[in-house]
Amino acid sequence: MRKPLIVANWKMHNTASEASSFVEELLGKIGEISSVEVAIAPPFTALESVSKILSKTDLVLAAQNMYWEPEGAFTGEISPVMLRELDCRFVILGHSERRQYFGDGDGEVALKVGAALTEGLMPILCVGETLGEREQGKTFEIVERQVRSALDGGMPDSGGGLVIAYEPVWAIGTGKTATPEAAQEVHGFIRGLLENLLGEGLGDEVRILYGGSVKPDSVDSLMAMQDIDGALVGGASLDAESFARIIHFK
Ligand code: PEP
């Protein structure tokens, strides 16, 4: 049984103090959440303050990125060891904004996935095609390359130790959501690929999230799909009311 996972990706929003107030507000709105796992990925500077609040709740902490070395002369970088110490459970890797603006290619993503697994962090590996790639009929080819190359960096011991987020780049922050059927087609493809790469049992345990303009009015139909096991939510996670509604999808 795959427990649904809803992840808030705040990107570069909220200072440490804003983050604390927001999480307190959110907690006041969500109530009981035993049937779904919820993770918050604030900016690095807010990890500690959010971690302290989440430690008293069922919500868990995620980071938005990391470097692959445990320590060293890497100015400006954050290591998996540092994230673990703050009680991060997940780390988002290979987000399309990292690939597009910060030079994270398949090789870097593989190193990060390997390091996260070694240090006991669960990677949320983001994959997805651009609009041009979709129009050229390359969606499956791109997604397969991104999944295969990332797992060259390391394989999880259990299916539950890895999360994939399918995020069509054209749907991120644009208000355009893939239809549930179109998303399911890619999720089903990723499931088959994971069963091939990890074995049927493990591949079936991996949670595959959908990301790309998920909103309160689109979450229910997406979550009704067989291989959509949760959502990676950007914009709508910055509004406590909207995010609370997404967590309580029907
Ligand atoms: C994201 O940042 O991963 C994302 C899906 O953003 P949005 O929900 O704003 O499209």
Specify the CATH number for the domain of residue 132: 3.20.20.70
The boundaries of the domain holding residue 142 are: 5-247
User: Of the ranges 94-103, 154-163, 225-234, which one carries the lowest mean pLDDT score?
Assistant: 154-163
User: Of the ranges 17-26, 35-44, 149-158, which one carries the lowest mean pLDDT score?
Assistant: 149-158
Confirm or reject: Cβ of 227 under 6 Å from ligand 1. no
**63 phi and psi, to 5 degrees?**
-105, 160
pTM: 0.97
For residue 224, is pLDDT > 90? Answer: yes
Report which of 120, 112, 175, 174 is spatially closest to residue 146, judged by C-alpha positions.
112
Confidence of residue 93 (pLDDT cuts 50, 70, 90): very high
Helices 240-247 and 16-30 cross at an angle (nearest 10°) of 50
**69 phi and psi, to 5 degrees?**
-85, 150
Question: Mind listing the pLDDT tens digit for each residue in 132-191?
Answer: 999 999 999 999 999 999 999 999 989 999 999 999 999 999 998 899 999 999 999 999
Confidence of residue 88 (pLDDT cuts 50, 70, 90): very high
* Cα of 128 from ligand 1 centre, angstroms: 12
Active site residue 95: yes
Q: How many CB atoms lie within 10 A of CB 217?
A: 12
**75 phi and psi, to 5 degrees?**
-50, 130
Confirm or reject: Cβ of 124 under 6 Å from ligand 1. no
* Cα of 213 from ligand 1 centre, angstroms: 6
Mean pLDDT of the chain: 97
Q: Are 242 and 18 in contact (CB under 8 A)?
A: no
Q: Are 211 and 165 in contact (CB under 8 A)?
A: yes
Residues 6+ apart with CB under 8 A from 48: 16, 86
Q: Which residues pair with 180 in a beta bridge?
A: none
Q: Over range 116-131, report the average pLDDT.
A: 97
For residue 225, is pLDDT > 90? Answer: yes
What is d(CA 20, CA 124) in angstroms, rounded to the nearest whole number?
23
Per the structure, how many domains does the chain have?
1
Give the model's pLDDT for residue 12.
98
For residue 1, is pLDDT > 90? Answer: no
Side chain identity at residue 38, one-letter code: V
What is d(CA 133, CA 229) in angstroms, rounded to the nearest whole number?
25
